[in-house]
Amino acid sequence: MTNPASRKNFNRRRCLRVGRALLEGPTAIFPPSSVDDYGWLEADFSLRVKWPGNNIHESLHVFSDDSMNRDDSFLAPMIRRCLWKRSVDISGTNEWPTATVELGFVRDRSRVDALLRNVHRKLSGLPFAELGLSTQRDVADVELDFNEPEFRIWARNGVQSIEYWSLPVSPATLGLSLREVHAELLAELAPISQSGWRERYDHDLREEPQAPWELQLVGLEPFISESPDLDDPLR
């Protein structure tokens, strides 16, 4: 007979794992064969936010054609939104996360182009407080504003990529309003029917990940634990 507590722990781990993966987004998106039977799209930009006060997580991605050996008839750029009420899945009663995914084309390419160019210009100048060598779990001195979201922003330009994560800070401190970027990008999402569209991930989201693997530096041999910790928080 299955232990109810064990089942809840299993459900909780799976919901949190899959929810995080859906927020991070797929490695590629494939259209139905009726749209294109060869190509795919990959992300060029992502914004992930944890909204203050309600434990709602959200991500917005911009995807563009990255099909190999294609010189014309490119797939139209797309916007992907994932919304996840994480607190609902912590109880362990759900077998699958409550996260939702919405996919759509870009309403106005010129507006999205201008928005992304503005973000690109500001990314390299975002503030990063000095810390130096951390010896006692030290943290940098940054003025936080808990009315703003915690966020992670990532972008690539074909030859470079950059990622920036921060606890909540004010737009004045940041030099960029993530709320405005989010609102403008979301307004450009023109939802479509998702029938036939597929997302690719690096592994089967239904499966538990393998245990962490450790290597002994002397001899470069695998370290075999006699009693693996099944509650390891890093799993």
Q: Summarize pLDDT for 141-167 with one digit per residue, the tens.
A: 999 999 999 999 999 999 999 999 999
Q: Are 8 and 92 contacting, i.e. CB atoms less than 8 angstroms apart?
A: yes
pLDDT of amino acid 225:
64
Domain assignment present for 32: yes
> Angle formed by the axes of helices 109-123 and 178-187, to 10°?
160
Q: Could you tell me if residue 231 is inside a domain?
A: no
Whether residue 235 is contained in a domain is answered as: no
Name the pLDDT band for 228 (thresholds 50, 70, 90). Answer: very low
10 pLDDT above the threshold of 70: yes
Given a cut of 50, is residue 189 above it in pLDDT? yes
Task: Supply the pLDDT for residue 47.
Answer: 98
Residue 25 belongs to domain spanning? 4-222
For residue 2, pLDDT over 70 is answered with no
pLDDT band at 226 (very low <50, low <70, confident <90, very high): low
- Where is pLDDT greater, at 124 or 44? 44
Whether residue 156 is contained in a domain is answered as yes
Contact present, 107 and 191 (Cβ < 8 Å): no
Q: Does residue 152 fall inside a structural domain?
A: yes
Residue 85 forms part of a structural domain: yes
Q: Over range 32-53, report the average pLDDT.
A: 95
Separation of alpha carbons 188 and 73, rounded Å: 22
Q: Which pLDDT score, from 0 to 100, does residue 211 have?
A: 77
- Say whether pLDDT at 234 is over 50: no
Residue 112 lies inside a defined structural domain of this protein: yes
Q: Is residue 234 part of a domain?
A: no
Given this model, what pLDDT does residue 233 score? 35
Q: Which two tokens stand for residue 190?
A: 């023109």
Domain count, the chain: 1
